[in-house]
Structure 1
Amino acid sequence: MKNSFFYFIAILLLVSCVNPTPRKPVTQKTSSFMKESVSINKKIIELEEEAIKDVIKKDSLSNYTNSANGFWYKYNVQSNESYLPQIGDQLFYTCEIADLNNTIIYSSDELGIQKYIVDKQELPEGLRNGLKLMKVGDNVTFLFPSHKIYGYLGDNNKIGINQPLIYNVQLNKINKQNEIN
């Protein structure tokens, strides 16, 4: 009995001295998920661009320009001013937001006069780039795909997810950066 106890202890010590073999990490392949996500987003963008091109086609009396920033715009009123907004300038503008069926989502009365300091404040990418194309007195209609405005989140109020929008923007005043300080 005494010997079996010592054998048990000896075997236990031998087994416990063996180095444990490390486990390999569990890897999950996310590349298929990413490929699927990219594919879905490309399809959404393609459908939105087709819808925007339909709006442009229906408005055959207007000339829309395809911006290098991924949206379309037309001038309703184009001023003779020459100054374009620069970084740090304070802009005062009004806008109206509608869906592609031209149903108003936010009226200019509802939104009021908007203030924006160029590239110093948060603003959806499309509108930020669109305002830089405007001069005081310009009235411009912008056609934005959803990824240039509110994207897959919407505004958590009236603007839905992946909703392309029409913005009618009137630039009323520019306070140049050196005039603000």
Structure 2
Amino acid sequence: MKLKLLYIIALILGVMGCKSPEARRPVTQNSGSFINESIQRNKKLVAKEEAIILKMIQQDSTQDYIASSNGFWYYYNKKSTDSLNVEMPEYGDVVRFDYNIKALDGNYIYDVGEIPTKRYAMDRENLFGGLREGLKLMKEGETVTFIFPSHKAFGYYGDKDRIGTNIPIITEVTLHSITQEINTNKSDN
């Protein structure tokens, strides 16, 4: 009798052991509403900043603003008239430039003397997005004023010093030199 009982228990355990495991269901389920709300918040922020910038541009009749395809505006303070100087920085080129940063009201956040002259290898080093894209539009010797919405400047985090969260900026950039990348790994195929 005990032997039959052991066989039955072993048979039941064997059958139960062959059962495939069931997936556990999460305790809570997110519908993605946080991400959707964040997207809507960011769209509203961008629209608000762009409206402020466009109003500022409309009120300034002294400059000819150009809308960049990258989502910012700019005008030339000093444009290169040298027809031989047509080169703009490309990937890997080292540029040397000065710049300042102002709030949209025109007050300096960082003046030219506060930011040392920068040497930057194009697209190989960290630099805020708008300035990285703006440098690609410049020629050696030019001075350009850029107006960047916050998402093209320092964004949500700011610069962790003087520029706060979601602050659009104006920056005047002077490109002193472009040193072309010398690629010694090119082969003659």
Aligned residue number for residue 77 of structure 2: 76
- C-alpha deviation, 1:24, in angstroms: 3.6
CA distance in 1, matches of 2:20, 2:94: 66
The offset of 1:113, in angstroms, is 0.7
User: Which residue of structure 2 lines up, in the alignment, with residue 31 of structure 1?
Assistant: 32
- Alpha-carbon offset, residue 21 of structure 1: 7.7
CA RMSD, Structure 1 to Structure 2 (Å):
2.5
1:116 is matched with which residue? 120
Output the CA distance in 1 between the equivalents of 2:180 and 2:64: 30
Residues 30-49 of structure 1 correspond to what in structure 2 (within 5 A)?
30-49=31-50
Matched, 1:165 2:166: no
- Partner of 1:176 in structure 2? 180
Secondary structure in 1 matching 2:176: strand
Q: Scaled by the length of structure 2, what TM-score is found?
A: 0.81
Distance in 2 (alpha carbons) for counterparts of 1:87 and 1:142 = 21
Deviation at 1:13, TM superposition (A): 8.8
**CA displacement 1:95-140 (0-9 Å, x = unmatched):** 0101111110011100021111111111111100100100111110
Q: Offset at 1:16? A: 7.5
Aligned match for 1:85, one of 74, 86, 89: 89
* Residues in 2 aligned to 1:62 and 1:154: alpha-carbon distance in whole angstroms: 28
Candidates 113, 122, 129, aligned match of 2:133: 129
- In the TM superposition, residue 51 of structure 1 has moved relative to its aligned partner by 1.1
Deviations 1:9-61 (A, max 9, x none): 9xx99998857984641152242111111000000000110111122122111
Deviation at 1:72? 0.4
- Provide the secondary structure at the position in 1 that maps to 2:105: coil
Distance 1:105 1:23, change over 3 A: same
Structure 1: which 5+ runs fail to align?
Answer: 1-8
Normalised by the size of structure 1, how large is the TM-score?
0.85
Question: Partners in 2 of 1:40 and 1:110 — Cα distance?
Answer: 34
1:79 alignment partner AA: S
Distance 1:136 1:23, change over 3 A: closer
**Matched residue pairs, number?**
176
CA–CA distance in structure 2, aligned partners of residues 58 and 136 of structure 1: 30
Counterpart Cα distance in 2 of 1:21 and 1:79 = 71
Distance 2:112 2:46 in 1: 27
Which consecutive residues of structure 2, in runs of 5 or more, have no partner in the other structure?
A: 1-5, 184-189
Structure 2 residue aligned with 1:3: none
Report which of the two has the higher share of helix.
1
* Corresponding residue number in structure 1 for 2:150: 146
